[in-house]
Chain A
Amino acid sequence: MAELSAARISACPACDAAPLAERLAETRQAQADGTLILSLPTAHCATCITDVERALLARPGVRAARVNLTLRRVTVDAPGLTAEDLIAVLAAIGYEAHELDPDALSATAADRQGRDLLMRIGVSGFAMMNIMILSVAVWSGAEAATRDLFHWISGAIALPTVVFAGQPFFASAWRALKARRLGMDVPISLALILATAISFFETLHSGHHAYFDAAVMLCFFLLIGRYLDHRTRAIARSAAAELSALEVPRATLLRTPSKYLAGGPGDARSPGLATHDMAEEIVPVATLRPGDLIRIRPGGRIPADGEIIEGHSEIDRALLTGETLPVPAAPGLALSAGEVNLTGPLVMRVTAAGRDSSLSRLTALVEAAESARGRYTSLAERASRGYSPAVHLLAAASFAGWFWATGDLRLAVNIAAAVLIITCPCALGLAVPAVVTTASGRLFRRGLLIKDGTALERLADVDTVVFDKTGTLTLGQPKLLSCDVLPHDLRPVALALALASAHPLSQALAEALAGTAPAALDDLREQPGFGVAARWQGRPVRLGRADWLGASDSSDSAASATWLGIGDQAPIRLDFTDSLRPGAAECVARLREDGARVILLSGDRPAAVADIAARLGIGEWHAGVAPQEKAAMVAELGGQGTHVLMVGDGLNDTAALASAHASISPASALDAARVASDMVLTGKDLAPVADALLTARAATRRIRENFAISIAYNIIAVPVAIAGFATPLLAALAMSVSSITVTLNALRLRK
């Protein structure tokens, strides 16, 4: 038996490698035959499925389209079409869609693993039921030849089932043994192998007790725990892949067209021409090299560090520094990856890309902080660390004790096997995954995605919550403070000017003035980096920066401002404030009610931070905090024995997110911030943060209760087994009752 399982295990490196090769082939094939996968974050019902599929199939060139509502994505077979074409089709009927990176296809590997586990659950489930039919007959008194026949049939079903369905446990036990550890899977594998071997031996000698049903039932319940665990992680992973695919990393590279090219193809990137003569090419950001010229359109994110060589615009640095006010941009200004270009097209020369860029410089900080957090041991780990040695000792001791007392080897092995089967952690294996699945399902419905199973446990410890301001407590979108400063006759002019620009302040102004009819303007043009100018009834009108209009700006005010100039009149100041994220006030209030300490750390100016802190009633705030200082402050709080939950979205928060005890970032956060955090808010609302703390505490309580249940059951059952009174019927009863109790206890979290 042991040889058999060893042979299967040694074959496993090959079966691990096979799916990988298959997956690579699948990815290539997918790209070649025109299969596109789009994420559909807003799809949620039957109408959505029909609308999306109908619209896509109506587009010429689309051969097939199928929505997967569980994963919220649609798979489209459309050779010759690009993702942009399909996204436009869906946008026209009001569905938001995003292209998924082909790398996200690796999610199919997780699917295959899930299907594999389901298959093993199915096989062991059917085997268990069939063996149980025969076992019930034996328990109710089948004798002699009939009993032996039933045992033989049971064995014939159980052996292939245990060999097939037990593989995940054998493989993981083998890995643990090779690393000289004792995981949960070592006693499980031992119990499976020993129970099957003993039962065959007993059957061969017409024994009374065979544990075939227990072995298969063990497989069945433990595989369910394994599958729940796998599914939680797979769903979190695929959703995380979707979030990161929201920004497909591409850049517009400027190349010298070949007709101007004197040298070889190596010169293709050397800029010897005016930039408007150069050919544009969309390339992946990863291929950018220092010296490349790239064009950044208004609204685009800057893909690498560099220097502006052409164009005027304004740069939004909120994600990097937390500043709400855009910075004017002109040739010579240094740009960092992650900033957003607002108003005018820019051409920049790359000075550092990829690993050297400022984006990656923060990674070192993050890695250092994450390894510190990696030392956290989950409740399940702590339980299994004590469990495995205890079980092996118990089984060995009962074998030695019975052998010493009776000298009967067969009896001693039988009792040792019974001890192993009875103590087998059915309930323990289900205790954590059942709770984590239920709790994360509940939080997902409320708009919070858990990326890491131990995050719930860490969240339950939290007593201090640190918020970032821009993009976290606020939406990072300005809102006009008041329309009153604008005389009614000037509103149509202001609206017409505002509509001409994509600048956030203009858009906010246009939103505030919605309902007014825009005035007719002539000669409308945008001066990137400064504002919008036009002629209205023969007079020059301008909307834009203070210095451009010749106004004096007192920038100590909390708000951002733009100015409206009509002819020679004194310019009118329009003040904007950052609008609070929905649920922010409720979230802060509920956290304080729970007795949590709430702190606001921001890189923005003191006036702006004080304003938000006052509106939310946060007493403790720090402004102008640099990224390293944020991380240091969070680490210092942790050092004082408090458990910090960091909520932030920017690059400047990334190190702090990683060094906090637990961390949450909104879906609008930068990739790096989402990667560093344990949980991601899928909606705009901040209220689920307060829910998460409550759910996490409830979940941890349930996990502890589940451990208590399985320990209590062991305290009753183990002495019975050691005393030699355990029967297959008792083992089956105890195993199923404890597993079901634990699962039902976990389900209480659903409500």
Chain B
Amino acid sequence: MEILAILIPVSLGLGAAGLVAFVWALRARQFEDPKGDAERILSDAWDDRPKPD
């Protein structure tokens, strides 16, 4: 059962990492325009180089 001492922190850490990623995505307004983002992937406007900010 000593394995639990590793497994539990690991699973909690993974969960926390997912949560942090979700909070970041929400804060970065990635859920503002789901329909637009689904269409933007089809555009070839920035295929050669990334769009500068």
Q: A111-B32, A122-B22 are in contact. Are A46 and B40 (CB under 8 A)?
A: yes
Q: Chain B residues near A149: list those with CB within 8 A.
A: 4
13 new A-B contacts, CB < 8 A, other than A46-B43, A69-B36, A115-B31, are A49-B43, A68-B32, A68-B33, A69-B33, A69-B35, A70-B32, A119-B23, A122-B22, A126-B15, A126-B22, A129-B15, A146-B4, A153-B12
Most-contacted residue by chain A among B8, B26, B36, B43 (CB, 10 A): B36
Which residue of chain B has its CB nearest to the CB of A43? B36
Residues of A within 8 A of B35 (CB): 69-70
5 A/B residue pairs, CB under 8 Å, sorted by A: A46-B43, A70-B35, A118-B26, A122-B26, A133-B11
Considering only residues 1-39 of chain B, those with a C-beta below 8 Å from chain A are 1, 4, 8, 11-12, 15, 18-19, 22-23, 26, 31-36, 39
Contact A126:B19 (CB < 8 A) given known A46-B40, A70-B35:
yes
| Interface residue total, chain A, C-beta cutoff 8 A | 26
Closest CB-CB distance, B32 to chain A, in whole Å?
A: 7
CB-CB < 8 A to A133: which residues of B?
Answer: 11
A 112-156 contacts with B by CB, 8 A: 115, 118-119, 122-123, 126, 129-130, 133-134, 146, 149, 153
Contact B8 A50 (CB under 8 A): no
| Distance between Cα atoms of A122 and B34 in the complex (Å) | 17
- The chain A residue sitting closest to B14, CB to CB, is A130
Q: Chain B residues near A123 (CB, 8 Å)?
A: 19
Binary contact readout A143-175 vs B (1 if CB under 8 angstroms, 0 otherwise): 000100100010001000000000000000000
Give a binary string over A173-211; 1 marks a CB under 8 Å from any B CB, 0 the rest. Answer: 000000000000000000000000000000000000000
A69 touches B1 (CB 8 A): no
**Is B42 a contact of A46 with CB atoms below 8 Å?**
yes
Bound state CA distance, A153 and B13, in angstroms? Answer: 13
**B26 surroundings in chain A (CB, below 8 A):** 115, 118-119, 122
Which residues on the B side are within 8 Å of A118 (C-beta)?
26, 31
Say whether B36 contacts A146, CB under 8 Å.
no
CB distance from A442 to the nearest CB of B (A): 16
The 9 closest A-B pairs by CB, nearest first: A69-B36, A46-B39, A46-B42, A130-B15, A126-B19, A70-B35, A68-B33, A122-B22, A69-B35
Task: Assess the B19–A122 pair: CB atoms within 8 A.
Answer: yes
Most chain B CB within a 10 A radius of its CB, from A71, A130, A134: A130
Residues of B within 8 A of A68 (CB): 32-33, 36
Q: Which residue of B lies closest to A47 (CB)?
A: B43
Instruction: List the A side residues contacting B8 at CB < 8 Å.
Output: 134, 153
> In angstroms, how far is the closest chain A Cβ from the Cβ of B52?
11
A71 contacts B15, C-beta separation under 8 Å = no
Let me know if B18 and A126 touch, CB within 8 A.
yes
* Contact yes or no, B19 A70, CB < 8 A: no
Q: Quick one: closest B residue to A69, CB to CB?
A: B36
Chain A residues near B19 (CB, 8 Å)? 122-123, 126
Q: Evaluate contact between A49 and B15: CB separation under 8 angstroms.
A: no
Q: Which residue of B lies closest to A71 (CB)?
A: B33
Q: Are A67 and B36 in contact (CB under 8 A)?
A: yes
The answer to whether B39 touches A69 (Cβ under 8 A) is: yes
Given contacts A122-B19, A130-B11, contact A146 B39 (CB under 8 A): no
Nearest CB to that of A122 among chain B residues?
B22
A16-50, CB < 8 A from B? 45-47, 49-50
Q: Is B39 in contact with A70, judged by CB distance below 8 angstroms?
A: no
Cα–Cα distance between A62 and B38 once the two chains are bound (Å): 25
Question: Which chain B residues border A111 with CB–CB below 8 Å?
Answer: 32
Task: Answer whether A130 and B39 are a contact pair too, CB < 8 Å, given A69-B33, A70-B32, A71-B33.
Answer: no
The answer to whether B32 touches A49 (Cβ under 8 A) is no
**Docked complex Cα distance between A481 and B26 (Å):** 58
Q: B23 — which chain A residues lie within 8 A by C-beta?
A: 119, 122
A13 to B35, CA, bound (A): 35
A575 to chain B, nearest CB (A): 47
In the complex, how many angstroms separate the beta carbon of A613 from the nearest chain B beta carbon?
Answer: 42
Complex Cα distance, B27 from A118, in Å, reads 11
In the bound complex, CA of A71 to CA of B32 (Å): 9
A residues 54-102 touching B (CB-CB < 8 Å): 54, 67-71
- Residues from chain B with a CB closer than 8 A to the CB of A129 are 15
On chain B, the residues within 8 Å of A134 by CB distance are 8
Query: When the two chains form their complex, are residues A130 and B12 in contact, meaning their CB atoms are under 8 A apart?
Result: yes
CB neighbours (8 Å) of A50 from chain B are 43, 45
Min CB–CB distance A165 → chain B (angstroms):
12
**A54–B51 CA distance with the chains assembled, in angstroms:** 13
* Chain A positions within 8 Å of B39 at CB level: 45-46, 49, 69
The CA-CA distance from A134 to B9 in the complex, in Å, is 12
Indicate which residue in A119, A130, A146, A157 contacts B1 across the interface (CB closer than 8 Å).
A146
Contacts of A119 in B (CB 8 A): 23, 26
CA distance A146 to B8 in the complex (A): 12
B36 touches A70 (CB 8 A): yes
In whole angstroms, what is the CA distance A50 to B34 when docked?
16
Nearest-neighbour CB distance to chain B for A231, whole angstroms, equals 11
- Chain A residues with CB under 8 Å of B22's CB are 122, 126
A163 to chain B, nearest CB (A): 16
Q: Report the Cα distance A133→B15, complex, angstroms.
A: 11
Which residue in chain A gives the minimum CB-CB distance to B8? A153
In the bound complex, how far is the Cα of B37 from the Cα of A46, in angstroms? 9
Q: Give min CB distance, A662 to chain B, whole Å.
A: 29
Closest chain-B Cβ to A689's Cβ sits at a distance in Å of: 26
Closest Cβ neighbor of B19 among chain A residues: A126
The answer for the CA separation of A49 and B41 in the assembled complex, in Å, is 11
A149 to B32, CA, bound (A): 40
Quote the shortest CB–CB distance from B12 to chain A (angstroms): 6
Chain B nearest CB: distance from A57 CB in Å?
A: 11
Complexed CA–CA distance, A461 and B4 (Å): 60
* Complex: A49 Cα to B36 Cα, angstroms: 8
How many angstroms between the C-alpha atoms of A115 and B30 in the bound complex?
Answer: 10
CB neighbours (8 Å) of B1 from chain A are 146
Specify which of A46, A47, A111, A129 lies most central, judged by the most chain B CB atoms within 10 Å of its CB: A46
Q: CA A153 – CA B26 in complex, angstroms?
A: 27
Complex-state Cα separation, A133 to B4, whole angstroms: 12
Kindly provide the distance from the CB of B35 to the nearest chain A CB, expressed in whole angstroms: 4
B48 to chain A, nearest CB (A): 14
* A243-260 interface code vs B (CB 8 A; 1 in, 0 out): 000000000000000000
Chain A residues contacting B42 (CB-CB under 8 Å) are 46
Q: Give A637 Cβ to nearest chain B Cβ, in Å.
A: 41
A84 shortest CB reach to chain B, Å: 25
* Per-residue interface assignment for chain A, residues 647 to 663, with 1 indicating a CB less than 8 Å from any chain B CB and 0 otherwise: 00000000000000000
Q: Are A70 and B4 in contact (CB under 8 A)?
A: no
Tell me, in angstroms, the Cα distance from A119 to B35 when the chains sit together.
20
B34 in contact with A70 (CB, 8 Å): yes
Q: Which residues of B contact A122 (CB under 8 A)?
A: 19, 22-23, 26
Contact B40 A49 (CB under 8 A): yes
Q: Which residues of B contact A49 (CB under 8 A)?
A: 36, 39-40, 43
Identity of the chain A residue whose Cβ is nearest the Cβ of B39 in the assembled complex: A46
- Chain A residues, CB < 8 A from B45: 50, 54
